[in-house]
Amino acid sequence: MLETINLKITELLGPLGPLFVVGFLGAILIFATLPVLLRREKDPLQKLKEERTGQKRQAAASADQKQLRQNDPGKKLERFSQYLEPQDTAEFSAIRLKLIQAGYRQKSSVQIFHFAQFALGIGFLLLGVLYTFFLGGGGAEPDVTKATLTTLLPGFCGYYLPKYWIDKRINKRQGEIENGFPDALDLMLVCVEAGQGIDQAIIRVSSEIRAGFPDLADEFEMVSFEIKAGKDKVTVLKDMAERCGVPDVTSFVTVLIQSQSFGTSIADALRVYASEMRDKRVMRAEEKANVLPTKLTLGTMMFTVPPLLIILIGPSMWNIYETLSQRGGQ
């Protein structure tokens, strides 16, 4: 019976007919089970808790206060958090730290990231199926290997596209922090030598460098807010170093912690460290300048040597061609 069904499917849909049928049935099963999995009934105990604490009435009365809070674009995904967040604490902390280093501090950033991976993966997979089986991407005589590659490869690309974007965003943000950090240290040194404390200096630096280095200004502003909230200064500085992920910031935090622990002058420590950061920035610029000729060698070979050869050898080759043509005609 199975062989008969297989033969009929092959006659109707071609050699890849069984593969089409299996893929279609799998898609039907997936879309049929998704509503059941994503449906999340509200806990009765949570309903009782809301009624007792009056959260609904408080939410209606504090509509003006909600406007002061930061808008969270992924708030609608909270109901699916158990499917869009890693259940392992270490894995969740790692992806959360990576998104914070990329500049995404929203509460639902992890959910948005995994939803983007899921949506883009499924979307690109459907595009691969459409291209392969309906637009002739598999060729006149479809091959199983080629059809599989043209179908699954877009899905993998769509799934890893958000990860590539986050890595690119992290590198860009860390580069901006490295470029602006020496200027921030110089300004902080001026504030400290003028008589301000380190807390006031951080607030002033965050407001002054925002025009040129907004990411670094956000980090300093967050440090000032956490210190005002009563959080331990050492913990706040370590959290800043972890959020930035830049070795220069980590070394700066270590210098401040050691200066505070041993009771040495913060101004002297900042003066020495700021001078080192300026020298390090100059060294990075010189390193890029020294690497530039090597990078230009390939472009020079590609766009200079071929035209030069055409100019020098072209006329001679043309004369040889005409001479051979004349002898062949005779």
Residues 139-196 have pLDDT tens digits of 556 567 777 788 888 888 988 999 999 999 999 999 889 888 888 888 998 998 888 8
What is the structure's pLDDT at 248?
87
Locate the DSSP E strands across 128-202: none
Q: What separation in angstroms does the CA of 159 have from each of 101, 155, 305?
A: 21, 6, 42
Amino acid sitting at position 59: A
Cα(25)–Cα(226) distance, rounded to whole angstroms? Answer: 54
Q: Of 320 and 35, which is predicted with more confidence?
A: 320
Task: Identify the pLDDT of residue 74.
Answer: 57
65-78 CB burial, b ≥16 within 10 A, e <16: eeeeeeeeebeebe
Buried b (16+ CB within 10 A) or exposed e, 100-111: bbbbbebebbbb
Res 169: pLDDT: 92
Query: Once rounded to an integer, what is the mean pLDDT over residues 51-76?
Result: 52
Q: For the beta carbon of residue 9, count every other beta carbon within 10 angstroms.
A: 16
Percent of the chain surpassing pLDDT 70: 77
pLDDT value for 39: 59
In whole angstroms, what is the distance from residue 103 CA to residue 12 CA?
A: 53
Rounded to two decimals, what is the model's pTM?
A: 0.65
- Tokens at residue 250, please? 């980590």
Q: Is 253 exposed, middle or buried (0-12, 13-18, 19+ CB in 10 A)?
A: buried
Work out the number of other CB atoms within 10 angstroms of the CB of residue 298.
Answer: 9
